[in-house]
Amino acid sequence: MTSDDASSKEILCYGFNQDATCLAVGLRTGYRIYTCRPFAQCFAMTDGGIGRAEMLFSSSLVALVGSGDRPAFSPRRLCLWNTKKDHSICEVNFLTAVLAVKLNRKRVAVCLKTALHVFDISDMKCLRTLETAPNPDGVMALSPNEENCHLAFPDGAKAGSSGGGGEVILYNALDLKVLNKVVACRSRVVAVSFSRDGKLLATASEQGTVIRIFTVPAAVKLYTLRRGSTSCDIYSMSFNAAATRLAVSSSTRTIHIFDVSAGGAAGGAAGRRSNSSPRQGGNSGGGEQEGDVENGGGANKNGSRPGGASDGNNASSNSNSSSGLASGFRSMVGMLPNRVTKRMQDYVDCERSFASVRLRGSAGRSICALIPAGDSGVWTGKGGGGAGKGPGGRGGDESGGQGEDEEVAREVLLVVTNEGILYSYVVDTVNGGECRLDEASSLLMDPSASQEIGSELFVPERHAPPVLAGQS
């Protein structure tokens, strides 16, 4: 993710590694690598501006592209850097600027404005060059899973539509062949993201009101997730490790978390994750019109989920009422013209977010990731990495009686903003609602002082919260 906030001119880019245990930050003077839980700086280089910095999990391999007033490398050059030995492994030059780089343990994908290059990571041999529609934002995704090594990028089949006009190509980066085509939406696709096992794909259009999730490689639509009613820019989408929840950040400064588990809190029916049983109205197409309906996402002011209740009787009553209204609504929809029917049916079938976070500060780009509570980064590059005990560390159950069930019921939402702040929120995966701010750390301050300064500037209001497993 590229930073564009005037208040953070020092930061050029920032991004999590494939399992969100580490964070790479590109600066006008170099780049830094941090572990996320606990927050700690592991590596720093100060040889010039870095506009792209992509890690390979927690290894010592980092893909770098220069940028800024004094770039470390040309914006048209990809450099693979070994942080443990602190030198370049290889460099690849291109005719135009490198817009995005993605890695897994088998492949490296490099996105230019009108082309995609697929490399074998073992010897950096170029295996295939794919011509694409004009893609100035570098929209693409590479599955972290090397067995389901899938690549997704906007299709250029529709003439005159920059970015592919709502269609996404699914490409097998191992066998070097096209797998399928996803008709994600009618407007231009601006964001795509794979689950960590490479079996699900989330897509978002430039309108930003609806997120859709498809199976891979069958391209069957499983979910339509409604972020809101007003248009916005989608900045990032990230599945959790089990692909049961999806976090979405946007220009509204609200992070939405959707439950996409079968029969989960978002109201999904059992079996939706099956390719043979897509949801009602579901197919590989996303041609339904987006937007212009009331926002039902996020938490209410009292911290509960939309339509939620404080006790089981009220919850049951609300559920029955909602079911009856939906049934009546679907009956009415059947008597309307097809064009109107598609829009209204899309509204009925949409899932709303069950948890959310409202970010502080001015509007700007942000990225998000979901990790298990108690996860800590173990970095194998130079300087070690924040393994062991501490906030979020794997230090065993020393939290004063916090049990395993409590840890399983919680996740941690990581958010990085272009102000240079890494936020950690605790997500209640059972009840949803507003996530609780647990920690805020500065990416620009001195590493030894960043924790104290971050806590002083962003002190969350706590009401005797439970302690996460591994914290002391």
The ranges assigned to domains in the chain are 139-305+328-364, 370-457
First to last CA, the chain: 33
Cis peptide before 391 (omega within 30 of 0): no
Fold of 139-305+328-364: Lipocalin (2.40.128)
Take residue 211 and report the two structure tokens written for it.
């997120």
Q: Please provide residue 446's backbone torsions phi and psi, each rounded to the nearest 5 degrees.
A: -60, 135
**Beta-carbon count within 10 A of 92 CB:** 17
User: Which value, in Å, is the radius of gyration of the alpha carbons in the chain?
Assistant: 22
Q: Outline where DSSP puts E strands in 95-208.
A: 100-103, 107-111, 115-120, 125-131, 141-142, 150-154, 167-172, 177-183, 189-194, 200-205
Residue 229, pLDDT score: 82
Angle of helix 338-349 relative to helix 312-333, nearest 10 degrees, comes to 170
pLDDT at 405: 46
Q: Pick the more confident residue, 289 or 349.
A: 349
d(CA 124, CA 434): 45
3-state secondary structure (DSSP) of residue 200: strand
State the pLDDT at residue 124.
Answer: 97
Average pLDDT over residues 445-453: 48
Closest-CA residue to 298 (of 462, 432, 460): 432
Residue 318 host element (H or E): helix 312-333
Least confident of 44-48, 66-70, 302-306, 363-367: 302-306
Q: For the sheet with 355-358, list strands across it.
A: 234-239, 245-250, 254-259, 355-358, 433-434
8 A C-beta contact, residue 278 and residue 288: no
Q: Is pLDDT at 329 greater than 80 in this prediction?
A: no
- pLDDT value of position 289: 46
- What is the pLDDT, as a whole number, of residue 394? 33
Distance between CA atoms of residues 395 and 413, nearest Å: 20
Give the pLDDT confidence score for residue 9 in this predicted structure. 76
The segment with the largest mean pLDDT, out of 8-17, 345-354, 369-378, 432-441, is 432-441
Q: Which residue has the tokens 């494939």?
A: 18
d(CA 267, CA 52): 39
Q: What does the mean pLDDT of the chain come to?
A: 76
Cα separation values, 57 from 52, 79, 358, 425, Å: 16, 17, 29, 22
Q: Are 231 and 207 in contact (CB under 8 A)?
A: yes
Beta strand segments in 318-464, E: 351-352, 355-358, 366-372, 410-417, 421-428, 433-434, 436-442
What does the alpha-carbon distance between residue 184 and residue 194 come to, in Å, rounded to a whole number?
A: 14
Rounded to whole angstroms, how far apart are CA atoms 227 and 233? 11
Per-residue pLDDT tens digits for 190-213 = 999 999 999 999 999 999 999 999
Q: Which of 300-314, 424-438, 451-465 is modeled with the greatest confidence? A: 424-438
Give the pair of three-digit tokens for residue 303: 């911290």
Residue owning tokens 């043979």? 276
- Where is average pLDDT lowest: 21-35, 95-109, 265-279, 403-417? 265-279
Query: CA–CA separation, 250 vs 253, rounded Å?
Result: 6
Element (H, E) at 243: none
Q: Is the pLDDT of residue 182 over 50?
A: yes
Residue 385 has pLDDT above 50, yes or no: no
Q: What are the tens digits of pLDDT across the range 341-382?
A: 555 555 545 688 899 999 987 668 999 999 998 765 555 665
Coil, strand, or helix at residue 264?
A: coil
Cα 91 to Cα 208: distance, rounded to the nearest angstrom: 36
Structure-model confidence comparison of residues 375 and 272, the more confident one: 375
pLDDT band at residue 472 using 50, 70 and 90 as cut-offs = very low
